[in-house]
Amino acid sequence: MALTVFNQAPLALFALSLPLILALAVGMYLLFELGSWMGRSHLKSGKGLVQETLGVIDGPIFALFGLLIAFTFSSALNRFDDRRKLIVEEANDIGTAYLRLDLLPEKERQSLQRLFRDYVDSRIRTYRLIPDMKAVVAEYQHTQDLQSEIWRQATTGVAKSPNTLAGMQLIPALNAMIDITNTRTATMQFHPPLIIFAMLMVMSLITAVLVGYQMASLEKRSWLHVALFIVTISLTCYVILDIEYPRIGLIRVDAADLILKDVREGMDPK
């Protein structure tokens, strides 16, 4: 799972996000000027006011652009919340499985408790190492090795335990603890298709042309409104990208990781 999923992580898009957004801002300004030039040419041709050509085409385009931003922003926030919830769920699954080790004989319990401490440390390191994906893959492989050893020792301990509840309680808890790692790994890769981001950029440029075309009829250009338009659209696109990759940007899920760290601290011998 690690070698296939982590290596397909589309981190290149975020790595280029700042240059991409700066290029978008410059492109919007250039196309704004192009639209303004086209609007002035329209006025000089004597074909009527610029506003008379608007509405029928411009209105639906602006509406579509607004819907596209709303869709990508909302879906990015939903995925951000899902990732935080999965961290909490994993912490709960690990904590439950660790408590149920008490059902095993003392020798097997102590060995598994040491493995659990190493396991949680590995889980924390896996996501801390992002965006160094080679290190992430190596650490995730170490996590899977620990999972296999925990499972092997747990099944052996259950077989030796005189407590019939050991197998009924511990094995399902271990299953949940292992399954959530695959869920978190897969969820980390869930992003909109790249065509959505490309369409968002293209629509930003198209609206810049239309805005420039509309402002051509003004006697004096309002540079404040031009700057606010370009900065607002560019910043919104950057925030959408930042939310999509909450391990390497300004908007992060690190606060949720503290829950997993609290579980690890609770495993230290008293």
In whole angstroms, give the CA distance from residue 139 to residue 124.
Answer: 10
Q: How does pLDDT run across 22-40, given as a tens digit for each residue? A: 999 999 999 999 998 888 8
CA 119 remoteness from chain centre: 24
Report the percentage of the chain scoring pLDDT > 90.
48
In whole angstroms, give the CA distance from residue 100 to residue 136.
Answer: 29
CA dist 192 to 70, 122, 156, 221, Å? 13, 29, 44, 37
166 pLDDT exceeds 90?
no
Report yes or no on whether pTM surpasses 0.85.
no
- Per the CB < 8 A criterion, the answer to whether 78 and 190 are in contact is no
Residue whose C-alpha is closest to residue 177's, from 265, 70, 75, 260 = 260
9 pLDDT exceeds 60?
no
Once rounded to an integer, what is the mean pLDDT over residues 214-225? Answer: 82
In whole angstroms, give the CA distance from residue 166 to residue 45.
Answer: 87
Q: How does pLDDT run across 95-143, given as a tens digit for each residue? A: 999 999 988 888 889 999 999 999 999 999 998 888 787 888 899 999 9
Task: Sketch the domain layout of the chain as residue ranges.
Answer: 2-265
